Structure 1
Amino acid sequence: MKMKKYIASSMAAAMKKVQVDLGDDAIIASSKVVYSKGFLGMFKKKSYEVVAGIERKNQKETMISPRTIQQPIIIESETTEKQTETIKKELADLKTMMESMKRRSASVQYPDELADIIEKLEQQEINHELITQIGDGLFTVVKNSKNDLSQNELQELAKKHILSILRELPFGGISYDKKYINVLGPTGVGKTTTIAKMAARAVLQEKKKIGFITTDTYRIAAIEQLKTYANLLQAPVEIVYSRDDYEKALRKFEHLDLIFIDTAGRNYKEAKYIKDLQQLIDVEKNVENYLVLSLTAKERDMATIIEQFLAFPVKKLIFTKLDETNTIGSMINLMVKYKKGLAYYTNGQEVPEDIEEASMKNMIDLLFQGDNI
């Protein structure tokens, strides 16, 4: 087996070079990050080095063996229990990347000028299926373009492609077509504070007369927090323990324009809490339902919560704690997967300031801001 070294600005770009040169049967012998010397020892440039080879028919014994490479050999069939966790993780990442590339047509290879865009999407934790969809669309444009495209032009094309993926999803906050605003979500996502921000906007900007209903009778602190916000907005609060209490509260608030319902924050991975909620409140009649999720949570955990609430007519999500993360890829992944729109995202604790009504444009701009989110 002859080995060859590939160096590129990103691991994805290096792997593409391997596939173009050696094909899908290439074997990865090693990979590592390398740094070139910069001016006066500063401003070092990071690159990715991959050593790969391919079995040749009738190869002679004198050919270089992977075992002559001093870097650790990362071939799944030869791994042992003594491998470090770092090598195992590297192997898993490389396998995922190779599988993603194999799903594409062999005739479609991304040119080097797309490497920065693809790497940006990976850093934002956009899933491989969406990255492939976006990359294929950009490749088609680049291939058919008579002129070289700048990175800014490519980025704008990437934004337009993402817009086309999201175009069927609803964006924007409260419509004011419904009287009841039902806010759902697990514990710890900042649901009560988010409700206060939404309610404050309804009062201060839309001049609505509002009230609050809370079913969160499990946490005294949550009730007191909601009462504090209600007092500031001069709005009444009703605490409900049963369906009868809920119906009475609705009748009591008939004269108001808008009613915000703060549901109990529970571990909604457990289906029994979903059933309890369905029995307690009406989520269908004259109601807008929103599901609140935290961007600091694992995407898989957020997906579990969404799936538990699929029986509820939730059209739009709300994501909190944007200020505590540098990536928003999970937000886009979940919206596309479950066909849910976006109402708001929050970026701090200040009421009512730290909340933004969502639009496709501002969300995609956030995606490409990266560390500046």
Structure 2
Amino acid sequence: MKVKRYVVDDLPQAVQMIRSELGSDAVILNTKEIRIGGFLGMFRKKRVEVIAAVDEASRKMPARPQPARPAKPAAPDNKPPASVTDDLPELRTPIPNQAVRSKYAAGSGASAPAAPAGVAIAEQAVEYKPLLDETPLPGMVEAVHPSQGQTGGEAPASENTLTLLQELRTMKDMMAKLTRQQTFRSMPESVVKWSRRLAEQGVDPVHVEQFAEEVRHRLGDEDKSDESASYEAAKEVLTSWLLPCAGSGISPGIRIAHFVGPTGVGKTTTIAKLAAEQSLNHRRSVGLITADTYRISAVDQLRTYADILNVPLEVVFSPGELTRAYKKMADRDLLFMDTAGRNYRNEMFVSEVNSLLAPGEKSETFLVLSMTHKYADMKLVAAQFAKYGVRRLLITKTDETDTFGAIVNLVREFSFPISYITCGQTVPDDIRPFDPAEWVNKLLGEPAHE
């Protein structure tokens, strides 16, 4: 069997190539859409990959015996010689494709020669897409093999028939998908510049393409080569993405704030910063609770902060001890609870820490993620906690990186409000509410001034 791969613009082009190279007995084994080329994963062109095969043995058909014919009388000298096609009447026989095509078009029940397998059927499926959309596929067995059932010696629908029907279904789905999608249009250079900037910042290629489309749409009839105009349009698009996810911080009605997240993201230091901010700036009485008994010196670190701020600290080892801790701090306006950092890509650890969180209208859970982590890991952790209703983000260590695309990715993927951003180790100064305008400027940088 000979197998060959084709990468083409559309399915009809592949069908023509397969017919010319492999013949009408070829069978399409698989079709799928792929993307090639592009820059930094963007602006890739859509192509169709087609795998076709043909059985070499089936192509060597034995010659049909010629029926005996009476000898023709010699032609008179004044008549032209007989045409070559007179001796080859089979060349004048209608091609089976034409017979099947006539049956499709006219809808008649007349018998027609069997359609060739593989490519011929694929060509008919492409050319008669409306018919495929209107006719259920199981009822197309007669159209695919109209000669079956007419001769008593022939077998019913075989595996080859089922394969052809599967190919028809695949091509029908492919054509519907190609109809819905449009090829990514070429972008002006000014738009490509800001798209490239977001790609360098680590924004996912899918979101970069969406960004480019929206910027081009906002520019409208303006001069798309004007860099300042494209910069303003880019800022407007990013602001529209980030502004709805600007969190409100810790609201006055919250009494218990839980902090969860992977190891090394800075939960304990962040709790100390917020405790100082709420105590000094908002004049709220604060208490600290820690369940981080896995990490060496974790309790000592939080106890040091508690002594400096002059606030009480309770250590819990199980969910049963939380009730005792809450009762001991019943006079406090706001409680901050620290949890152990674990590998929260494992759902078992996520459910374990979730058992420590007190449900209720007066509690809130913050997922703490570090900008120094890979976005793929951040996405997995966020997806795990989203299952348990965690909907607020706190981003740390923004001062330790120059790429901030993960913020856009998290906002677009999960629509989590971002309440706070930390940018250093200083307590309580290096924490502030999330400001979309600030991070739009960091993502795009400043336009070049002539």
TM score, norm. by length of structure 2: 0.58
**2-side partners of 1:285 and 1:231: how far apart?**
30
Q: Which residue of 2 aligns with 1:211?
A: 287
Q: Describe the SS at the equivalent of 1:259.
A: strand
Q: Describe the SS at the equivalent of 2:391.
A: strand
Q: Which residue of 1 aligns with 2:199?
A: 122
- Among 219, 222, 229, the residue aligned to 2:298: 222
1:198: how far off?
1.1
1:305: how far off?
0.8
- Among 331, 339, 350, the residue aligned to 1:274: 350
With 131-140 and 320-329 compared, the bigger mean Cα shift is at 131-140
Q: Which residue of 2 aligns with 1:97?
A: 42
**1-side partners of 2:291 and 2:194: how far apart?**
46
Q: Describe the SS at the equivalent of 1:220.
A: coil
Amino acid at match of 2:434: A
1:100–1:128 CA contact under 8 A, matched in 2: no
**2-side partners of 1:289 and 1:172: how far apart?**
14
With 279-288 and 253-262 compared, the bigger mean Cα shift is at 279-288
1:259: how far off?
0.3
2:258–2:357 CA contact under 8 A, matched in 1: no
Q: Describe the SS at the equivalent of 1:364.
A: helix
2:192–2:212 CA contact under 8 A, matched in 1: no
- Among 108, 112, 120, the residue aligned to 2:189: 112
- Structure having greater relative contact order (Cα 8 Å, sep ≥ 6): 1
2:256–2:336 CA contact under 8 A, matched in 1: yes
CA offsets per residue over residues 97-149 of structure 1, 9 Å max, x none?
3537789734732112223211211111111122111211221233412x466
Q: Which residue of 2 aligns with 1:308?
A: 384
Amino acid at match of 1:337: E
Q: Which runs of 5+ in 1 are unaligned?
A: 1-23, 26-90
Q: Which runs of 5+ in 2 are unaligned?
A: 1-7, 10-35, 48-177
Amino acid at match of 2:42: M
Gap change, CA 1:100 and 1:226, over 3 Å in 2 = farther
1:246–1:281 CA contact under 8 A, matched in 2: no
1:162: how far off?
1.8
Aligned pair count? Answer: 285
1:171–1:359 CA contact under 8 A, matched in 2: no
**2-side partners of 1:148 and 1:330: how far apart?**
28
CA offsets per residue over residues 37-96 of structure 1, 9 Å max, x none?
xxxxxxxxxxxxxxxxxxxxxxxxxxxxxxxxxxxxxxxxxxxxxxxxxxxxxx987594
With 278-287 and 111-120 compared, the bigger mean Cα shift is at 278-287
**1-side partners of 2:271 and 2:235: how far apart?**
31
Gap change, CA 1:159 and 1:225, over 3 Å in 2 = same
Q: Which residue of 2 aligns with 1:199?
A: 275
2:284–2:333 CA contact under 8 A, matched in 1: yes
Report % sequence identity: 33
1:155 aligns with 2:231: yes
**2-side partners of 1:107 and 1:269: how far apart?**
35
Q: Describe the SS at the equivalent of 1:268.
A: coil
Over the aligned positions, Cα root-mean-square deviation in angstroms equals 2.8
Gap change, CA 1:264 and 1:133, over 3 Å in 2 = same
Gap change, CA 1:93 and 1:284, over 3 Å in 2 = farther
1:117–1:155 CA contact under 8 A, matched in 2: yes
1:177-326 matches, within 5 Å, as 177-326=253-402
CA offsets per residue over residues 152-202 of structure 1, 9 Å max, x none?
332221111122233443423211221001111111111100111111110
2:422–2:430 CA contact under 8 A, matched in 1: yes
Q: Describe the SS at the equivalent of 1:97.
A: coil
- Among 193, 200, 216, the residue aligned to 1:139: 216
1:230–1:237 CA contact under 8 A, matched in 2: yes
Gap change, CA 1:100 and 1:193, over 3 Å in 2 = farther
Amino acid at match of 2:264: G
1:241: how far off?
0.9
Q: Describe the SS at the equivalent of 1:182.
A: strand
1:163-182 matches, within 5 Å, as 163-182=239-258
- Among 439, 442, 446, the residue aligned to 1:366: 442
TM score, norm. by length of structure 1: 0.70
Amino acid at match of 1:162: L
Q: Describe the SS at the equivalent of 1:198.
A: helix
**2-side partners of 1:249 and 1:100: how far apart?**
59
1:170–1:315 CA contact under 8 A, matched in 2: no
Amino acid at match of 2:390: V
1:288: how far off?
1.3
- Among 330, 334, 345, the residue aligned to 2:421: 345
